[in-house]
Structure 1
Amino acid sequence: MRYATFVGAAALVTLLALPASAFDGWHLESSATIEGKGAAWDYISLDGASGRLYIGHRKEGLQVFDTAGRKLLKTLDNTATQSSNGATLMPEFDLGFSNNEDGSITPFKMSTMESRAPIKLGEELDTSHYDPVSKRILVNMAAGKDGTELVVLQAPSLEKVGVIKVASKKPEHADGDGKGNLFLASRDLELVYRIDMKEMKVTAEWPTPGCGQTNSLTMDAANKRIFLGCRGSDKAKPAFAVMDSETGKVIFSQEVGGGNDGIAYDAELKRIFLTNGVNAVMNVFEQVDANTYWQIEALGTHAGVRSLALDAKSKKIFAVTAEGSADYAKKVTTTVSPYYANTFYPNTFKVLIYAK
């Protein structure tokens, strides 16, 4: 009788520990191949109004993919030689630009996909982030010996209006709170910067305990929460972490797949998605409330699926990858994985569409 009571209590504890929501069943709905020479890639971004997915396909340029027709529309001029890392979009101005590895940006008109001559900002550039409140863009330039100079541009002129110096040599993803602040992840220093874009200065630096190599970042501004994708380190496993955007306190963290480089939040579904290219898994969390999160599934994807874009209307998730290999005659990014692909095969690049 005592044994039965113990088993019943244990079962109750197990049930209480289960997620509040059922399995969503996210899966690969379809895919589309984009023919090419086998270039690497970086960021992808979606313009929900037009259904156009912008793909930073490095030496093959900034490519525009029609998500409805499942086809490539155009590779934008002045983005291939410059090696596109992805696009920053400002639909209110019908304006976007390609973030180029050579330190330039290539402006284009979103409606016509017509590009202008590149604007040189420096020797090397990773990505940039638009704040619609201040109408300013924060550009992650290449790091120097003592940190990184973040260039500030004014939209829509794209005039350089300032520089913000940070100690981080690996600034990564950023998102805004709708009040003129951008929150920027620092992978090497494992912290989050709060940046006042109007004043162009750092107003807070918050460490991310338990979140090694803080990399991807998105916000739930309504609940004052910052969602972080953490690649992990010698002291911490790869994780999803949640930070209070007013205090900088980390209120939740849980292990996820290795090689994170993408995170997205859907306020209607109350879901957070993290794509992790090394372990080829997409972790899906439910937001029960501002302080409570459940991991509800981990979808097997494909090696190299590390960036994502979420369509808030269709509830579809877009990602990209290609068949690749680690060629040890070339430099391998062993800080990510000892087997991290550095060579990709022609005509294997794909856009993957996930749905539930």
Structure 2
Amino acid sequence: MKKITIAIVLLSAVITSVYAQKKAAYHVSKTFHIKSSGGYDYITVDSASDRLYVSHGNQVNVLNKTTGDSIGVIKSDKDVHGIAIVSQLGKGYITNGSAASVAVFDLKTFKILAHVPTGMFADGILYDDYSKKVISCNGKSKNMTFIDPATDKAVATVQLTGWPETAASDGKGKIYVNNAEKSEIDVIDATTYKMVNTWPIAPGKSASGLAIDRNTMRLFAGCDNKLLVVMDATNGKVVTTLPIGDECDAVGFDKKLKTVYSSNGEGTLTVIKELSANKFTVVQNLKTKAGARTIAVDQVTHLLYLPTGKFGPKKAGEFRPSLIPGTFEVLVVSSGL
């Protein structure tokens, strides 16, 4: 009887463990549908206001992050790429690529308040909480524009040597940017507006997505050659590389869960656990949908948001195939925790 009881207990423990692992696995838990037409790029979650800001053609769709209900639409004259929120000033900032500008909008009314000139093809954008500046990555002019949100004026332009994709801040005065053209990470002093370092990401190539763990000072760069490069943000040394899916255009990091996410346009989400500053492991490759290449991480609920849709055949001269009107959607991914 004793042996049987022990066996039953062990079997129960195994079943419980397997169930827990299945429950904890990342999965698409919801889908928010947006019926308007147009392409898309970055997506931003504002946990303080329960809002999701979704780039979509020449506008930003504002959704309730829990229900997906429409809260409003911010109209823009040109293509929208990234959205940064400055809650304390009640304003948001939108990069308009072909307009070479950043549009400023009111968080309450969604009205456009101003347009700030930038370099050509304003793309990635962030708000740096150290310098209190909004920073635009301008691809075609290979530079970055620093904007003072108190005045909505550009205060500095930092020239790079190649196309800047996405930037991240360490919160202590350094800005890191993926120089995709040169396959390096450039480091900007947020006080002097000077480039102080250029660090190669080899064996990674042409990184797009970038995130940072400010506690361990580790940078996570999602590269074109299906690698995520982990770099020491204090000295530029590559700590390790991990395999990810193809067409990564954004990388997210959950600060509490110590988890890195690579959103891959091929239709996968690579989930990487940070075990320590120098040890990382891929824990899951979730099937999402083709085109789900950018991501926003909610640091409060730990939900992930990935925009995508259905696409027509790629035409000659197109960088990416066009989105079929009426099929745009946002996938909501949960860990089950």
Call closer, same or farther: CA 1:204–1:122 in 2, change over 3 Å.
closer
The answer on whether the counterparts of 1:42 and 1:307 sit within 8 Å (CA) in structure 2 is yes
Match of 1:206 among 196, 199, 202: 199
1:124-203, aligned counterparts within 5 Å?
Answer: 124-144=121-141, 148-168=142-162, 170-203=163-196
Structure 2 distance, partners of 1:53, 1:139, is 20
Q: Report the Cα offset of residue 85 of structure 1.
A: 1.1
Match of 2:68 in 1: 70
Structure 2 distance, partners of 1:345, 1:223, is 42
The answer on whether the counterparts of 2:268 and 2:286 sit within 8 Å (CA) in structure 1 is yes
Structure 1 distance, partners of 2:30, 2:57, is 24
Residue 348 of structure 1 aligns with an amino acid whose one-letter code is: T
The answer on whether the counterparts of 2:114 and 2:152 sit within 8 Å (CA) in structure 1 is no
Q: Report the Cα offset of residue 22 of structure 1.
A: 5.5
Q: Report the Cα offset of residue 122 of structure 1.
A: 4.7
Structure 2 distance, partners of 1:206, 1:309, is 26
Match of 1:88 among 76, 79, 84: 84
Q: Deviations along 1:276-306, whole A, 9 cap, x unmatched? A: 002x110001111100001111000000000
Call closer, same or farther: CA 1:142–1:215 in 2, change over 3 Å.
closer
Match of 1:119 in 2: 116
In structure 2, stretches of 5+ residues that fail to align are 1-19
Match of 1:331 among 317, 325, 328: 317
Q: Report the Cα offset of residue 142 of structure 1.
A: 4.0
The secondary structure found in structure 1 opposite 2:256 is coil
Structure 1 distance, partners of 2:90, 2:151, is 12
The answer on whether the counterparts of 2:124 and 2:167 sit within 8 Å (CA) in structure 1 is no
The answer to whether structure 1 residue 273 and structure 2 residue 261 are counterparts is yes
The answer to whether structure 1 residue 351 and structure 2 residue 334 are counterparts is no
The answer on whether the counterparts of 1:285 and 1:295 sit within 8 Å (CA) in structure 2 is yes
Residue 192 of structure 1 aligns with an amino acid whose one-letter code is: I
Structure 2 distance, partners of 1:120, 1:268, is 37
The secondary structure found in structure 2 opposite 1:172 is strand
Match of 2:94 among 98, 107, 111: 98
Residue 209 of structure 2 aligns with an amino acid whose one-letter code is: S
Call closer, same or farther: CA 1:312–1:327 in 2, change over 3 Å.
same
Identical-residue share of aligned pairs (%): 24
Residue 253 of structure 2 aligns with an amino acid whose one-letter code is: Y
Q: Report the Cα offset of residue 82 of structure 1.
A: 1.7
Q: Report the Cα offset of residue 307 of structure 1.
A: 0.5
The answer on whether the counterparts of 1:88 and 1:130 sit within 8 Å (CA) in structure 2 is yes
Structure 2 distance, partners of 1:70, 1:143, is 34
The answer on whether the counterparts of 2:184 and 2:201 sit within 8 Å (CA) in structure 1 is yes
The answer on whether the counterparts of 2:33 and 2:330 sit within 8 Å (CA) in structure 1 is yes
Match of 1:10 in 2: none
Q: Deviations along 1:315-355, whole A, 9 cap, x unmatched? A: 11111111002332x4232xxxxxxx422212111111110
Structure 2 distance, partners of 1:317, 1:44, is 10
In structure 1, stretches of 5+ residues that fail to align are 1-20, 233-237, 334-340
Match of 1:34 in 2: 34
The secondary structure found in structure 2 opposite 1:92 is helix
The secondary structure found in structure 2 opposite 1:150 is strand
Q: Report the Cα offset of residue 55 of structure 1.
A: 1.1
The secondary structure found in structure 1 opposite 2:229 is strand
Residue 190 of structure 1 aligns with an amino acid whose one-letter code is: S
Q: Report the Cα offset of residue 92 of structure 1.
A: 2.1
Residue 50 of structure 1 aligns with an amino acid whose one-letter code is: S
Structure 2 distance, partners of 1:259, 1:325, is 18
Q: Kindly report structure 1 stretches of 4+ aligned residues shifted beyond 3 Å.
A: 21-24, 119-124
The answer to whether structure 1 residue 306 and structure 2 residue 293 are counterparts is yes
Structure 2 distance, partners of 1:48, 1:103, is 29
Q: Deviations along 1:45-69, whole A, 9 cap, x unmatched? A: 110111111111123x111111123
Match of 2:250 in 1: 262
Match of 2:15 in 1: none
Structure 2 distance, partners of 1:33, 1:45, is 16
Match of 2:106 among 106, 109, 114: 109
Match of 1:43 in 2: 42
Structure 1 distance, partners of 2:170, 2:156, is 21
How many residue pairs align between the two structures? 314
The answer on whether the counterparts of 1:54 and 1:86 sit within 8 Å (CA) in structure 2 is no
Of residues 268-277 and 148-157 in structure 1, the stretch that sits farther from structure 2 once superposed is 148-157
The answer on whether the counterparts of 2:173 and 2:190 sit within 8 Å (CA) in structure 1 is yes
